[in-house]
Structure 1
Amino acid sequence: MSREVDLDITGMTCASCSARIEKRLSRLDGVTAEVNLPLNTAHVVIDSDLTDGDVTAAVEKAGYGASVRKAASAGPEIVDYAPRHLRPRFLGSLILAVPIIAVSMVMSWHFPGWQWVVGLLALPVVTWGAWPFHSAAFKAARGGSTTMDTLVSVGIIVASGYSYATLLRAVVDGHGWAIPGTYHVWFEAAAAITVFLLIGKLTEDRAKNRATAALRKLLDLGAKSATVLRAPGEVSPGEVSPGDVSPGAEVGAGDGASGTGAGSPLSGDLSGSGERVEVQVPIAELRVGDVFRVRPGEKIATDGVIVAGHSAVDEAMLTGESAPVEVGVGDTVTGATINTSGVLEVRAERVGAETTLAAMADLVSRAQLGKPAVQRLADRISAVFVPIVFVISVLTFLAWGLVSGDWAMGLHAALTVLIIACPCALGLATPTALAVSSGRGSQLGILVSGPEALESTRSIDTVVLDKTGTLTTGVMTLIGSQLTDADFAVLARLEEQSEHPVARAIVEASRAERVTAGAATASGRVEDFTAIPGGGLEARIDGREVIAGRPDLLRERGITVDVAPDAVPAGATIVALAVDGDFRGLTFVADEVRDGAASAISELHRLGLRTVLLTGDNASAAEAVAGKLGITEVFADVRPEGKIAVVDELQADGRSVAMVGDGINDAAALAGADLGIAVGSGTDAAMAASDITMVRSDPRQIPQAIRLSRRTLGLIKGNLFWAFAYNTAAIPVAAAGLLSPMIAGAAMAFSSVFVVLNSLRLLRFR
């Protein structure tokens, strides 16, 4: 059985580093790996008996640090780029490089022995200033490979080494302190290359920080501690929060945000479970089953179920909706949302990496791991890029020397080739675009699973939309019934066993009307309850066989159901009831079309996409909704198992299909479609089967998600085009001797920075 491991990687400096780690890990038996440079992480799938230690050892042998992320972690560790040591290196090198370049390039400033002065000034620049490149190149060499840092390091060493050798040759030739101008030195090139690459690295790292800022903010949303309620005997000495004892205790000082500061009495032990004490626990120590207290203004520590109290919860971080949601006993709440009013006691249901917040962060980070087909091609090219550049550099040197006899110019051109080539731009093209896109998507409430989903958005031509919960609110209301009060009470008793929106509508209507007739039946004993997916419900109530649901379900059981078309309200969902095989009548419920559904459909049409309405509801209800939204193609009365068949049918007709749904009954269709999109109110099964998850239940996010995905894919291709075009054009120009090494260093740094800055344009996506 395969297992998955997430690693935190240290020491990566460029795309060649991540490629080398992937290659080294993939050599292990039964291991596949994806390394994320912006996040400094690796996701490893192990299909063998290898241990975590074997995996981290492989990374360390490649010259990098690796550690297994703890299971309790709520997400990846986001590295702060542009480490402190890089800034002083840049500033120090810049201060020294200015006089080096000025004296070297202005002929009138060439005083006797100036070469020795600039050589002395250049020494700390090409050693201490360029040390990050030398160190990374050494690590790569120790691992038996080459990277962009190898090109840079060799270029700086060759330029400065040749210059120092020239000074020694002048001394040997008897020139002493005053060296003639015929002895060429390239200290200004070595210094300029170092400065340009350091400023490029700083700019690139700052941009990487911006690219991962959204994920950083997402991870920071979680609570840092929880106020856990425990029996006095379960509390270790020193764990009790001062003054925090219940029942009847006064809340201790320090809770100003809660509005229940010192001296404010708390309303006893809300859950009525006896005397308990409050203990402040770090969030990492919170366990499933712990009951914790949340005061007004505090963040809910983790996902759980309310066991006491009533309040309103601000779920803006999860749904983007500003209006707080009323919650009470039995309701589920999500970690990192904010309690706005009453005091709540919540039983933890999910902790650590299992929480909704961690799942969102994981989706965002995993979205950055994969690679579209075009990037995989770029990887194959960049894998051999550095050795090819070395070969071209040597050939350039030999060609100049053998053909023209100008070995100095040959060294100049060869050095320029080494410096100007930039495999890093190839490697940064995809991960930076994905980092910015997934971060911006998380801000908008759109979570894309990976590059494969991006490629799918380009090819789809048909969008199939589930009706209930996707285009409609999913909040049903009773709009009519043919049943007697007694029969309606029986129906309500059956529906109480279900959480389906139709069932909730009937139960709530029954309670609101305070039906008294048939009260004995309404409170009767329910046995052998069964929910029939896409069909209805059945059970024994006080010994009688009761079945309710779609008219077709009753007909399949041999029950005659009369449905007069003119008796069915427009857009209504029909619930038929039978007791002991006797048809009793129909009940009608309906839900409202979501705000923004019509504009979402219009935008999908503007994107050139065909829309299809798919529902298990009756044709009348389906056609009514389709008519309001401008959808002309409708599949109604479709059972859950039939939804995947509809998708297959459309695909068989040559269509590329995106499926949008929210429920368990949509999971198979979501997985079978070319692109699966789960809406925010959906189930875990629907989201697990989808390629794109929309946190909010806003239909307008459907076209927005498609536009973001297409924009990201276009940006990746644009980045790769630039990287290929740059290297294709720059290397021949450098080999022809038309550029100086100093200009080459600036161009090389700009190439990487351009790719990163170009990706940042996605931050403006709306």
Structure 2
Amino acid sequence: MQTGSIDRPPSQIAAAAEARQIDIGIDGMTCAACAARIERALAKLPGVTAANVNLATETARVSGDTGLSETAIADAIIRTGYGVRQQHAQAASSHAAPSADTIALDREIVLLIGGAILTLPLLLPMLAAVLPATMAEALTAPLWLQIGLATALQIGLGSLFYRGAWKALRSFGSNMDVLVALGTSAAYGLSLYLALPVLFGEAQHATHLHLYFESAAVILVLVRLGKWLERRAKKRALSALDALKALRPETARVRRHGQEADVPLALLRIGDIVIVRPADRLPADGKVVAGQSAVDQSLLTGESLPVDVAPGDRVIGGALNGNGLLEIEVTALGAQSMLDRIQQMIADAQGAKAPIQKLVDRISGRFVPAVLVVALVTLIGWLIAGAGIETAILNAVAVLVIACPCALGLATPTAIMVGTGTGAKAGILIRDAIALETAQHIDSVAFDKTGTLTDGKPQVTSLVTAGGTTEADALRLAAGLQRGSSHPLAEAVLHLASERDIVPAASTSAEALPGRGVAAAVDDTRYLLGNSRLMREHGLDVGSLSGGDGATRSYLAALDPQPRLLAALEFADGLRPTAKPAMADLQRLGLTSLLLTGDNAKAAQRIASDVKITNWRADLLPGDKIAAIEAEREAGRHIAMVGDGINDAPALAAADLGIAMANGTDAAVATAGIVLMRSDLRLVPAAIDLARATGRKIKQNLLWAFLFNALGVPLAAFGLLNPMIAGLAMALSSVFVVSNALSLRRWLATMKVRYAHDR
């Protein structure tokens, strides 16, 4: 996303004993050339392995060894002529206080209004050509007033560009400030040169003079207006992070030693019990220990409906509590909390550099010096052609003004910034710009089965009895043997018994039989509940109760007075309700789907048939999944892998793009390029659709920026572009790029219709 990146050779990176990463805010950047110059300065620091500067977010990310210090980085930025700001201090400021950006925007608009008022008298003489002579003379300000207004504008509005130009030239660089400062100074200086002899002569008005004070003034007003609009638009583009920062309350009500008190969040500790009243936001991640309520997690997960919570349920800090009073045990704080992790992932994505940006980096770094050469050639060419000094200077000024590379530098980062922020609001966390760009080219998606296409919670789908045993008796005995067990199959049996209002039998002498099942006594009778292997060990033939469709089965048997089968329980993973719509959406996008699972072939075939996946592979170990993915890639496909478990992590890493379910294991989430914040498989096609939409915006922006300069510079050089029009076009170019990127926010409304409806 940056306007540039400078990386050290791999050998130097490998030499670093331990990597360290420092993020720092930068003040004073105006264009892509600024970012490129800062990167060059940072890359020269000892121990630095990579330096990335993001023009859109006005931040630098520097990676290096353990000896790298924030002070050294800040000093290097300051020596280059720019300011620094502390990111963390800014983020920690009170929500009630206006941000530095807001204050700066307010000051800028006041300055712009004042500048526009002072510019108006300089523009009025332009009407002289279409008005009677007497009226034209009345509209023309006295020459001394024109000089005074132009000088005030050149100092007031132009000082920003002069400072920036001086800093750039002092470090033997060039940027947008150099172009604007040279262009407006040339127009102002030429006018002053023509006006001073008249001012000190007898004439008090200058209707007969061709002065260009208004050109310099209008350029200054328009360029600063463009920068103000651009900065305001970038602030909107960062709204996803701003919204997340606003979720965390400043205090929490904590119960300690039987006493309740409001304490700052910084004083919270793991294990604290916090009291969350109705309509309050949860201060931290935790587990509900008392109370029931519904919590709104929409800004965190994109889930539109509130989620019911009760004792034992996990909750996320920043969620909005409903009408119930909750007592929550704090389980995660700071960087380990879900809110902080989401913020960090969004910040990482918005601070990363897309591969396509490398071309823009090289062009931007050489663009401003090339423009200076073109402006000089324009000046000399017009003089050689016999034009006057006025014409030559004005055409050179037009070249300088229109050629600002702002739009080029903002084309990619603003689109990525809006795309990742929009994705976060939808529950799609994109880890970095590389994942975003890779997702655009995906044409095949592989899915794990258990916990991904299925909900990972086995359910009893069939209960078959034998030997005169009733279903109620069989379920009472099975639940009694499983009572106290946390095994997923045991939970399924107990859940079914609860649904049917059957009280589990009182069992004694329970014995776990690893890999086979469980044994226990009920009313002095010994019972077994387990797999077919356990039954065979006791001489029981399960053939009459076995099935052939690949479902998991447990068998209930009595050992006294002799071994006999009583019942067979069949279990199956429930298919996620969003699995079928997700497959249909992927097909609509032109993607193919395949199933890679470690489960048996019959179970895999059943699920694949349910979701209409024709390409499936079963009985796969983690290494087998990697081999399957490599085979797809060798066939020329760009493949994404969707999974949630530890065994999926290698496949997620091996695929072109890893997509992890947020409720999955840390290993899966850590290796994925995209994380889905809720277990909704429709987010998979939505994520790829968003990536494609963002890619289109990047291409549109880059095409516009290149065409703008490719057409604008020659027009200006050949005298077909007035400097004021050039200034307006340059300002609007940057605004167009940022506004075009902001239009990505409309994708969210489309996504809610296309991917979030029930079908």
**Same fold, judged at TM 0.5 (above):** yes
Matches within 5 A, 1:93-172: 93-104=115-126, 106-107=128-129, 108=133, 109-110=136-137, 114-170=142-198
Report the Cα distance in structure 2 between the residues aligned to 1:132 and 1:744, rounded to whole angstroms.
19
Counterparts of 1:532-551 in structure 2, within 5 Å, are none
Distance (whole Å) between structure 1 residues aligned to residue 539 and residue 349 of structure 2: 52
1:185-243, CA deviations, whole angstroms, 9 ceiling, x for partnerless residues?
A: 21010011012112212222222122112221122112221112223xxxxxxxxxxxx
Shift of 1:754: 0.9
Deviation at 1:395, TM superposition (A): 1.3
2:13 corresponding residue in structure 1: none
Distance 1:677 1:67 in 2: 35
CA-to-aligned-CA distance 1:224-277 (integer Å, 9 cap, x gap): 21112223xxxxxxxxxxxxxxxxxxxxxxxxxxxxxxxxxxxxxxxxxxxx21
**Which of 94, 105, 108 does residue 83 from structure 1 map onto?**
105
Letter matched to residue 27 of structure 2: T
- SS, match of residue 516 in structure 1: coil
Aligned partner letter, 2:658: G
- 3-state SS of paired residue (2:165): helix
Taking structure 1 as reference, are residues 576 and 23 closer, same or farther at Cα in structure 2, changes over 3 Å only?
farther
For residues 271-350 of structure 1, the aligned pairs below 5 Å read 276-350=258-332
Match of 2:247 in 1: 221
* 1:265 aligned residue: none
After superposition, residues 433-444 of structure 1 pair within 5 angstroms as 433-444=415-426
Instruction: List aligned pairs for 1:11-26, cutoff 5 A.
Output: 11-26=28-43
Flag the 1:562–1:36 CA change in 2: closer, same or farther, 3 A: farther
Say yes or no: does 1:762 pair with 2:758: no
Match of 1:615 among 583, 592, 597: 597
Question: Structure 1 residues 196, 322: CA separation in 2 closer, same or farther (over 3 Å shift)?
Answer: closer
When residues 384 and 94 of structure 1 are mapped into structure 2, their CA distance, relative to the original with a 3 A threshold, is same
Relative to structure 1, is the Cα distance of residues 150 and 358 closer, same or farther in structure 2, using a 3 angstrom cutoff? Answer: same
Cα distance in structure 2, aligned partners of 1:175 and 1:548: 115
Map of 1:201 onto structure 2: 227
Shift in CA distance, 514/539, structure 1 to aligned 2, threshold 3 Å: closer
Query: Cα gap change, 1:445/1:90 in structure 2, threshold over 3 Å: closer, same or farther?
Result: same
Residue equivalent to 1:260: none
Choose from 537, 547, 554 the match for 1:568.
547
C-alpha distance after superposition, 1:613-665 (max 9, x if no partner): 22233323322222222211112233344333322232233322111122222
Is 1:520 matched with 2:508? yes
Q: Match for residue 59 of structure 2?
A: 41
Q: Describe the SS at the equivalent of 1:377.
A: helix
What is the rounded CA distance, in whole Å, between the counterparts of 1:123 and 1:456 in structure 2? 52
> Is contact 2:20–2:68 with CA below 8 Å preserved after alignment?
no
* Residue 711 of structure 2 corresponds to residue 711 of structure 1: no
Q: 1:538 to 1:114 in 2, by over 3 A?
A: farther
**Residue 211 of structure 2: aligned partner:** 185
Quick one: which amino acid aligns to residue 246 of structure 2? D
Deviates more, 1:46-55 or 1:354-363: 46-55
* Partner in structure 2 of residue 234 of structure 1: none
Q: Paired residue for 2:634, among 652, 655, 669?
A: 652
Q: Give the Cα separation in 1 of the matches to 2:656 and 2:93.
A: 28
Q: CA 1:449/1:166 → structure 2, altered by over 3 Å: closer, same or farther?
A: same
The residue type equivalent to 2:165 in the other structure is A
Name the structure 2 match of 1:273. none
Closer/same/farther in 2, CA of residues 312 and 753 from structure 1, 3 Å limit: closer
The alpha-carbon deviation at position 451 of structure 1 amounts to 2.0
Task: Report the AA paired with residue 367 of structure 2.
Answer: F
Shift of 1:707: 0.7
Q: Which residue of 2 aligns with 1:252?
A: none
Identify which range, 28-37 or 375-384, moves more after superposition.
28-37
Relative to structure 1, is the Cα distance of residues 579 and 47 closer, same or farther in structure 2, using a 3 angstrom cutoff?
Answer: farther
Q: CA RMSD in A?
A: 3.6
1:693 pairs, out of 632, 652, 675, with 675
CA change 1:573–1:139 in 2 (3 A) is farther
**Cα distance in 2 for residues equivalent to 1:481 and 1:70:** 59
Question: Which amino acid in 2 is paired with 1:128?
Answer: G
- 2:46 equivalent among 17, 20, 29: 29
Query: What is the rounded CA distance, in whole Å, between the counterparts of 2:368 and 2:124 in structure 1?
Result: 32
Provide the rounded CA distance (Å) in 1 between the counterparts of 2:90 and 2:195: 60
Q: Which residue identity is paired with 2:101?
A: D
Taking structure 1 as the reference length, what is the TM-score of the superposition?
A: 0.83
Residues 749 and 629 (structure 1), Cα distance of their counterparts in 2 relative to 1, 3 Å cut: same
Distance 2:146 2:627 in 1: 76
The alpha-carbon distance between structure 1 residues 738 and 762, as it changes in their structure 2 partners (threshold 3 A), is: same
- Cα distance per residue 1:61-116 (max 9 Å; x no partner): 22333345449968999863552221111111111212211214524424688443
SS at structure 2 position matched to 1:25: helix
Q: Distance in 2 between matches of 1:565 and 1:454?
A: 54
Unmatched tracts of structure 2, length 5 or more: 1-17, 466-473, 522-526, 751-759
Question: In 2 relative to 1, CA 729–491 (structure 1 residues): closer, same or farther, beyond 3 Å?
Answer: farther
Deviation at 1:12, TM superposition (A): 3.1
Instruction: Quote the residue 2:3 is aligned against.
Output: none
Other structure's SS at 2:252 match: strand
Deviates more, 1:381-390 or 1:207-216: 207-216
1:684 is matched with 666
Q: Which amino acid aligns with 1:93?
A: G
Native 8 Å contact 1:5 1:68 kept in 2:
no
Moved more, 80-89 or 738-747: 80-89
State the TM-score, normalizing by the size of structure 2: 0.83
Matches of 2:179 and 2:558, distance apart in 1: 82
Partner secondary structure for residue 43 of structure 1: strand
Shift of 1:125: 1.7
Q: What is the CA distance between 1:390 and its match in structure 2?
A: 0.8
Q: Describe the shift of the 1:565–1:422 C-alpha distance in structure 2 as closer, same or farther (beyond 3 A).
A: farther
- Residues 367 and 589 of structure 1, relative CA distance in 2, 3 Å threshold: same
Match of 1:4 among 4, 13, 21: 21
Percent identical pairs in the alignment equals 41
Q: Within 5 Å, give how 1:294-693 maps onto structure 2.
A: 294-404=276-386, 406-480=388-462, 488=478, 492=482, 495-496=485-486, 498=487, 501-502=488-489, 504-509=491-496, 513-516=502-505, 519-522=507-510, 567-568=546-547, 572-574=551-553, 587-693=569-675
For residues 335 and 438 of structure 2, the distance between their equivalents in structure 1, rounded to whole angstroms, comes to 29
1:55 aligned to which of 70, 73, 84: 73
Pair 1:454–1:576, CA change in 2 (3 A): farther
Deviation (angstroms), 1:758: 1.0
TM-aligned CA deviation for residue 467 of structure 1 = 2.3
**2:262 match: secondary structure:** strand
Secondary structure (helix, strand or coil) at the match of 1:217 reads: helix
Residue 262 of structure 1: aligned partner: none
> Residue type matched to 1:57 in 2?
D
Change beyond 3 A, Cα 1:188–1:316: closer
Find the residue that maps to 1:223 and give its secondary structure: coil
Gaps of 5+ in 1: 232-275, 530-535
**Aligned equivalent of 2:757:** none
Moved more, 464-473 or 725-734: 464-473
Is the contact between residue 463 and residue 611 of structure 1 (CA under 8 Å) also seen in structure 2?
Answer: yes
Distance 1:221 1:754 in 2: 31
CA distance in 1, matches of 2:63, 2:519: 49
Contact 1:21-1:62 within 8 A present in 2 as well: yes
How many pairs align? 700
* Contact 2:481–2:519 (8 Å) recurs in 1: no
